[in-house]
Amino acid sequence: MRGPLSRRPGHERAAVPRNVPLGAAALLLTCVSLVIGFRAADADGPTPVPQALAFLPWLLVPGAAGLGLAALARWRGGLVWAAVALAMTVWFVRPYGPGSTGAHGPVAARLDVLTSNVEFGGATDALITTVRHERPDVVFVQECDFACADALAARVPAASYPYRDVVRLDGSLGSAILSRLPLRPAGRVGGTMAMPGAVAVVAGREVRLQLAHPMPPVPGGVSVWRRELGRIRDLAAAVRERPAVVAGDFNASQDHAAFRAVLDAGALHDSARLAGSSRTYSWPADRATPLRTQIDHVLVSEEFSVRSARFLRLAATDHRALLVALELHDGG
C-alpha cells in the first residue's frame, strides 16, 4: 500500500530528465531574447547587452541550442519561442543600410583610404610597410604613441605625405592623419583618446576627414562609450551637406544603436557594407577565437562610391587594418 506522498517507481527519474532540458532551454532563450529585444528597440542597454550585441550573429548558436532542448523536452511553447528568437536574429544579421550610396555623375577623383589601430604603437613597423606598399592617399592611425609618432616622422617621407595632423600622446591616446592631399585643420572631436579632424582638397572640392576612436564599451564604461559616439554622431550631422569620410576604430559594430545613429545622422555609408563585406571581422585579429566582429570602419557620404574594401592583417596589433578604394563623383 502506498502512502499519499508515494509515487510509482521511475516517476521521479522520468520527470528530472525532461525538466533539465526545459530549464536549460528557457535560460538560453531568455538570454538571447534579452539581447535581441534591445536590438529590436534600437537601444544598446546596460552591461552585458552592448558587449553581447558586438557578436550578434553568434546568438544563433544558443538560439539553435534552445530550439533543440525545447524539442527534447517536448515543450511546444519553447519551440515557438526559439523559432521567433532565431527568425529575429537572422533578420538583424542582414547588412544595415542601403547597398549603394546613390553617387552619380562623372568620377572627379579616386581616393584610397587606410585606417589602422596599431595597438599602443606595436604595429607601427607593419603599418609603415603597408603604407609604402599600398600608397593610400589618406592614412588614419589610432593608438599612435610617442614612438609611433616619431617613426612616422622619420620613416614616412614628407615628400610622399606632406600634410599631417599628428596628436602626440602616449599609449592608446595618440592619433595621426597623414595625407598626400592638402589639409587644413578642422578641430577635434572631444574624447578620452584623440580624434583629430581636417578638411582635404580633392579635385578642387573640400572633403571633411574625421578620425574616430571612442572609448570601448567595457563594463563600467558604457556611458563614456555612448557619449563619445554621440559626439561623432553630432559631427556627422553637422557636415551632412558636404563630402565626408569618417574612419577609425569605432569600438562599435552595425549591431550597436550608437553606431547606427552615426550613419543615420550624417547620411553616411559603411564602405565595407557597400563592398559586400559587412560581416568581415576586424577585431580581435591576434588570437584564435570564433568571437570576432567588425569595429573598424570607413564611413563615406553620398558623393562617394566604393570600388573595394580590404581588411589587412598587420603584425603586433589586435586589429586588422582597412584599406578602401573610393571614387568621388561630381554629381553627388
Residue 6 or 63, more confident = 63
Confidence of residue 8 (pLDDT cuts 50, 70, 90): low
Average of pLDDT values for 231-244? 97
Cα distance between residue 180 and residue 200, in whole Å? 9
Confidence of residue 9 (pLDDT cuts 50, 70, 90): low
Residue 24 pLDDT greater than 60, yes or no: yes
Do 75 and 25 form a contact (C-beta atoms < 8 A)? Answer: yes
Cα distance between residue 42 and residue 215, in whole Å? 20
Cα distance between residue 332 and residue 325, in whole Å? 17
Q: Which three cell numbers stand for residue 241?
A: 551637406
User: What whole-number percentage of the chain has pLDDT above 70?
Assistant: 95
Q: Which three cell numbers stand for residue 162?
A: 606632406
Instruction: Report the pLDDT value the prediction gives residue 102, as an integer from 0 to 100.
Output: 87
Average of pLDDT values for 36-43? 98
pLDDT digits (tens, 9 = 90+) for 119-169: 999 999 999 999 999 999 999 999 999 999 999 999 999 999 999 999 999
Residue 260 pLDDT greater than 70, yes or no: yes
pLDDT digits (tens, 9 = 90+) for 175-216: 999 999 999 999 899 999 999 999 999 999 999 999 999 999
Q: Which of 16-20, 31-35, 199-203, 214-218 has the lowest mean pLDDT?
A: 16-20
DSSP codes joined into one string, 75-138 = -HHHHHHHHHHHHHHHHHHSPPS-SS----S-EEEEEEEEEEE-TTTTTHHHHHHHHHHH--SE
pLDDT digits (tens, 9 = 90+) for 294-309: 999 999 999 999 999 9
Question: How many other C-beta atoms can be found within 10 angstroms of the C-beta atom of residue 105?
Answer: 11
Domains of the chain, earliest start first: 11-93 (no CATH), 107-329 (3.60.10.10)
Instruction: Report the pLDDT value the prediction gives residue 314, as an integer from 0 to 100.
Output: 98
User: Which single residue is written with the C-alpha cell 564611413?
Assistant: 299
Residue 20 pLDDT greater than 50, yes or no: yes
Q: Which three cell numbers stand for residue 197?
A: 579632424
User: Which single residue is written with the C-alpha cell 589587412?
Assistant: 312
Instruction: Report the pLDDT value the prediction gives residue 1, as an integer from 0 to 100.
Output: 43
Average of pLDDT values for 268-284? 98
Question: How many other C-beta atoms can be found within 10 angstroms of the C-beta atom of residue 251?
Answer: 26
pLDDT digits (tens, 9 = 90+) for 89-107: 999 999 999 999 989 999 9
Element (H, E) at 165: strand 163-167
